Structure 1
Amino acid sequence: MIPKKYEQLLFAFLISLKMSRIMSGVITSIKPGLPDTFLGRWYNAWYQAFMVALPAILLVGPLVRKSIILQIALLKGRRFSRIGNFIL
């Protein structure tokens, strides 16, 4: 079992690992299609994307979490109506 204090760090690591892999694969395959060099180009693109994604998630994640908490606190107690997917 992983200690609770490492939960946020592990989450950031795993989500950045998976998202950078998916996004770099999609972006690498869009322009030239799937040439013979695709796997090497994908690995290179993924490695570079991961080096940006992990620090970005570690820095932006807490800000997003605080923003969500603030928005929920502002909506709490307010009357609002829901029409379709929109909250008025």
Structure 2
Amino acid sequence: MSKATVSGTKPAAPKEHHGIDHSIDLGHGNSPAAWTCVIVMLIGALIASIAFVIANTPVFWAGIAVMFVGLLAGYIMRKAGYGVGGSKIKNTGH
């Protein structure tokens, strides 16, 4: 082991963001479309996981299909106006 001490280090130079504007609030997906998509996909993942553990191939693929249904439901709801900033959502400022 070396007994040399670490001398003063220079602060790190600020990193460039390559033209990305980080001041825009993205909303974090808090919308009925996003929540529906995530909940249905979680149910599908649960089904597929349990089927994987018990080695049941048809039920596993059914769980995967439920995950795709959740993805499709979220997309359809977003297009119907239930996504972030959608026309059917009451804007509460949150």
Tell me the TM-score normalised to structure 1 length: 0.40
More strand by share: 1
Tell me the TM-score normalised to structure 2 length: 0.38
More helix by share: 1
Higher Cα Rg: structure 1 or 2?
Answer: 2
